[in-house]
């Protein structure tokens, strides 16, 4: 049986958008969902129950937190949030996809903004998470979330960005720095979407006319052997107003 994993930034706690968020998740049929910008455990519980999923609500440095939903058993869930360099928090868990068989996931949401100073902070976050994941190189492992960063080689449309963000990029000589994603790639993690979709922009922000790819699923070499598909979720119609991000999904075939 295939296993589907989604990463989804639900925007400011998802408040007053519970129904469209649930519609998007239900239509996509993921087995595991890594959420960003969750505010309250009550919201997460209310989202999980009708979807038939278990949940993990984490602690963190900020109101916006990374959280987890899963139809599969969740083992050893943890949240990490050292005040430096982790801006919010990141989560870790083992997911049991078959009896006594697991993969490890890390869910992240680094600092936002394309200003070079913020990208340098994100680089420190990426380096911290890479070191944290180092002991798991011999087991299937993935890192997913809203990375708030641009990958090397990716396109972006600055003409449709907010004026303040255009000004930041202009002030940097029209350069968008890409240190943090480069660090993950250099450490051996594979960008699932780009690996399987080399010519597709894969923009995830903002609906309905996105201009940037900020949401990623990375896998190590062990997890890559199971990777089958990766795509940006653009249906159902509720996805355009459920959040300011499109979700990203990856499908894995553990029986292969």
Average pLDDT over residues 201-226: 98
* pLDDT bucket at 159, cuts 50 / 70 / 90: very high
Query: Which tens digit of pLDDT belongs to each residue from 192-206?
Result: 999 999 999 999 999
Taking only the tens place, the pLDDT of each residue in 30-61 is: 999 999 999 999 999 999 999 999 999 999 99
pLDDT at 256 over 60: no
Listed as own residue / partner, the contacts of 198-206 with beta carbons closer than 8 Å and 24 or more positions apart are 201/154, 201/155, 202/154, 202/232, 202/248, 203/156, 203/157, 203/232, 203/246, 204/232, 204/245, 204/246, 204/247, 204/248, 205/244, 205/245, 205/246, 206/244, 206/245
Find the distance separating the first CA and the last CA of the chain, reported in whole Å: 10
pLDDT of residue 1: 75
In the DSSP assignment, the letter for residue 130 is H
Q: Is 5 exposed, middle or buried (0-12, 13-18, 19+ CB in 10 A)?
A: buried
pLDDT of residue 56: 98
pTM exceeds 0.85, yes or no: yes
How far apart (Å, rounded) are the C-alpha atoms in residues 45 and 75?
Answer: 18
| Torsional class of 209: left (φ above 0), alpha (ψ -120 to 50), beta (otherwise) | beta
For 55-71, how does the pLDDT look when each residue is reduced to its tens digit (9 = 90+)?
Answer: 999 999 999 999 999 99
- Which tokens is 237 given? 């119609």
Helix, strand, or coil here: 254?
coil
User: H or E stretch including 21?
Assistant: helix 18-28
Residue/partner pairs of 46-52 with CB below 8 Å, 24 or more apart: 46/18, 47/14, 47/18, 47/21, 47/22, 50/22, 51/22, 51/25, 51/26
With cut-offs at 50, 70 and 90, classify the pLDDT of residue 237.
Answer: very high
- Residue 134's nearest CA partner among 188, 83, 76 is 188
Least confident of 15-24, 118-127, 247-256: 247-256
- Given a cut of 60, whether residue 28 has pLDDT beyond it is yes
Mean pLDDT, rounded, for 230-244 = 98
Mean pLDDT of the chain: 97
Q: Please, what are the domains in the chain?
A: 2-253 (3.60.10.10)
Please list the residues that pair with 19 across neighbouring strands.
none
CA torsion through residues 180, 181, 185, 189, sign: positive
- What is the band of 23 on the pLDDT scale with cuts at 50, 70, 90? very high
* pLDDT over 60 at 213, yes or no: yes
3-state SS class at 68: strand
């Amino acid at each position: 049986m295939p296993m589907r994993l989604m990463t989804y930034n639900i925007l400011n706690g998802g408040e007053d958008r519970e129904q469209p968020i649930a519609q998007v998740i239900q239509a996509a049929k993921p087995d595991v969902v890594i959420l960003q910008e969750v505010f309250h455990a009550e919201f997460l519980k209310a989202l999980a129950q009708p979807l038939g999923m278990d949940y993990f609500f984490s602690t963190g440095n900020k109101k916006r937190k990374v959280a987890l939903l899963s139809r599969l058993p969740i083992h050893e869930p943890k949240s990490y949030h050292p005040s430096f360099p982790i801006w919010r928090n990141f989560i870790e868990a083992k997911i049991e996809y078959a009896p006594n068989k697991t993969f490890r996931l890390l869910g992240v949401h680094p600092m936002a903004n394309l200003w070079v100073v913020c990208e340098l902070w994100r680089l420190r976050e990426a380096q911290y998470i890479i070191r944290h994941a180092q002991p798991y190189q011999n087991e299937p492992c993935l890192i997913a979330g809203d990375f708030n960063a641009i990958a090397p080689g990716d396109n972006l449309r600055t003409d449709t960005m907010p004026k303040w963000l255009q000004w930041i990029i202009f002030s940097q000589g029209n350069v968008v720095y890409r240190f943090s994603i480069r660090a993950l790639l250099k450490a051996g993690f594979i960008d699932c979407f780009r690996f399987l979709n080399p010519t597709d922009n894969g923009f995830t922000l903002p609906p309905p006319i996105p201009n940037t790819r900020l949401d990623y699923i990375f896998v190590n070499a062990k997890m890559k052997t199971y990777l089958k598909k990766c795509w940006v979720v653009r249906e159902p119609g509720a996805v355009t107003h459920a959040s300011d991000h499109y979700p990203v999904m990856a499908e894995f075939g553990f029986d292969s």
